Structure 1
């Protein structure tokens, strides 16, 4: 009785005759990230165009097409001119930038103060929660009465305040989480050598908290821009993204309304992406950053 040894198939050997090749599945196709993003954008534009030309072609007040086609939006953008958008977005970006610096600066100072004086953590967190829970609409109406009306072309104090308020909470929470994530062994080493809480903050906590703080600052960019736009609705100003959108709505110019809305989203996204690049450069060891 003889026993045949099993035949081992080498990796490079051709497939036996009669066997069918494995069918390619969708899971096997790996597309680049930029290509999938481009396909998604093209798909959204196609669906938008079809719906605007069919279902929503006669929807709108006064017989005006409320949802214009992408071509109408592009034509209106160039007809309006670059100066219109530069003037209005320049004021709003100034308001958002000032509010961004004030809100995030105050949040970082309070977060650092909590690490030096731990008893203040409850007070600081209560302040942050209150600022997050206050309705912006109600606060905007109060500021309209308290804050003086700015001159034409000047930033609105109401918009600056709401921009700062919009990014305060997220930065406080993110900074505290990051500052508390420092390595305990490193903190104990500084304590053994006679270092104070301030020394721990400078030597260990700030470096350890950079990824969390930068993520909070990144999220604060679109929040500050949104707060500035909302503040312009209450600030009684004539120049800015908010007044420009109100004027376009009152004129029933739906294409310009969409232009301003899409441009606002693009500006917020650009600021978010810019802070993301800065985060990768400053803290390349953070999660998700490429080397």
Structure 2
């Protein structure tokens, strides 16, 4: 006779946000302990790793205007580069589906842009691109932001466009539809999850490319110059504050694109509406 006995203690499934919050608290606690013990005496009068209260104090002392001014410029550079890089990647991916013979050329271009060290390109841009006015987006930062997202979006878009159902493509062909009709009616819909995922990953990549462009360029306003100034002044709390805020900004952009992707293509996350 089968037994219907159930275990006395059932495993508790915590919500995802609770697990994330516990992880964040654990990281901050470990950071605080190491900053006040192991790394407290590192450096001649300068804390290489400041404690969390020191970073918070630095954020407060710097003020909202300081972060808004610098991050505003960097976000503008990342946004412009994001649009250019992803737009060009999506256009080239669509052209490949219409003209398959160009796939080799497009993929070679994408691979070259991915393999060439971005630092080397940034150094060349310093000589080529003119110095921007104070507070204006830098051309080299925009270019590196666009370059940082181009490869992943091309690959993601092509994989998604090629994953369309063959029977649906045959139906369009039987009814006299062209490759453009296949692209518009079938391939684009099938590729939405892959394209949206590539665009989501491109958000932090574009921001990182813009910051790197500022590091290598001759600019006076932005996250890159702010970090350089803080490093030269041995202001480690401000350096850490800029780094943390940069991570939060990139994470926020990634999350926003994730919400947009879930709203546009809910089936890509296994949801149903």
TM interval, shorter chain, is over 0.9
Deviation of 1:36 after TM superposition, in Å, equals 1.0
Deviation of 1:287 after TM superposition, in Å, equals 3.2
Tell me, yes or no, if the aligned pair for 1:129 and 1:169 is still in contact at 8 Å.
Answer: yes
Q: Which residue of 2 aligns with 1:139?
A: 121
Aligned with residue 215 of structure 1, among 176, 197, 202: 197
Q: Which of these two proteins has the greater Rg computed from alpha carbons?
A: 1
Tell me, yes or no, if the aligned pair for 1:280 and 1:290 is still in contact at 8 Å.
Answer: no
Q: Distance in 1 between matches of 2:174 and 2:50?
A: 68
Q: Which residue of 2 aligns with 1:31?
A: 14
Alignment RMSD: 1.5
Tell me, yes or no, if the aligned pair for 1:136 and 1:162 is still in contact at 8 Å.
Answer: yes
Q: Which residue of 2 aligns with 1:103?
A: 85
SS of aligned partner of 1:216 = helix
Q: Distance in 2 between matches of 1:77 and 1:23?
A: 50
* Stretches of 4+ aligned residues off by more than 3 angstroms: 8-11, 21-25, 287-291
Q: Which residue of 2 aligns with 1:58?
A: 41
Per-residue CA shift, 1:71-118, capped at 9, x if unaligned? 111111011100000000000000000000000000000000000000
Q: Which residue of 2 aligns with 1:71?
A: 53
Q: Distance in 2 between matches of 1:10 and 1:66?
A: 62
Aligned with residue 227 of structure 1, among 209, 233, 236: 209
- Equivalent pairs, count: 273
Q: Which residue of 1 aligns with 2:165?
A: 183
Q: Distance in 1 between matches of 2:267 and 2:26?
A: 35
Q: What TM-score, normalized by structure 1, do the two folds share?
A: 0.91
Q: What TM-score, normalized by structure 2, do the two folds share?
A: 0.97
Q: Distance in 2 between matches of 1:164 and 1:23?
A: 57
Q: Distance in 2 between matches of 1:112 and 1:220?
A: 19
SS of aligned partner of 1:195 = coil
Q: Distance in 2 between matches of 1:123 and 1:193?
A: 31
Q: Which residue of 2 aligns with 1:4?
A: none
Q: Which residue of 2 aligns with 1:3?
A: none
Q: Map 1:94-133; keep pairs closer than 5 Å.
A: 94-133=76-115
SS of aligned partner of 2:269 = coil
Tell me, yes or no, if the aligned pair for 2:262 and 2:269 is still in contact at 8 Å.
Answer: no
Q: Distance in 2 between matches of 1:84 and 1:9?
A: 70
Aligned with residue 46 of structure 1, among 11, 14, 29: 29
Unaligned runs of 5+ in 2: none
**Structure (1 or 2) with the greater helix fraction:** 2
1:164 equivalent in alignment to 2:138: no
Tell me, yes or no, if the aligned pair for 2:111 and 2:151 is still in contact at 8 Å.
Answer: yes
Q: Distance in 1 between matches of 2:231 and 2:260?
A: 37
User: CA 1:9–1:287 in structure 2 vs 1: closer, same or farther (change >3 Å)?
Assistant: closer
Unaligned runs of 5+ in 1: 1-7, 16-20
Q: Distance in 2 between matches of 1:23 and 1:191?
A: 61
User: CA 1:9–1:189 in structure 2 vs 1: closer, same or farther (change >3 Å)?
Assistant: closer
SS of aligned partner of 2:268 = coil
Q: Distance in 1 between matches of 2:200 and 2:185?
A: 24
Q: Distance in 2 between matches of 1:24 and 1:262?
A: 40
User: CA 1:244–1:290 in structure 2 vs 1: closer, same or farther (change >3 Å)?
Assistant: farther
Q: Which residue of 2 aligns with 1:283?
A: 265
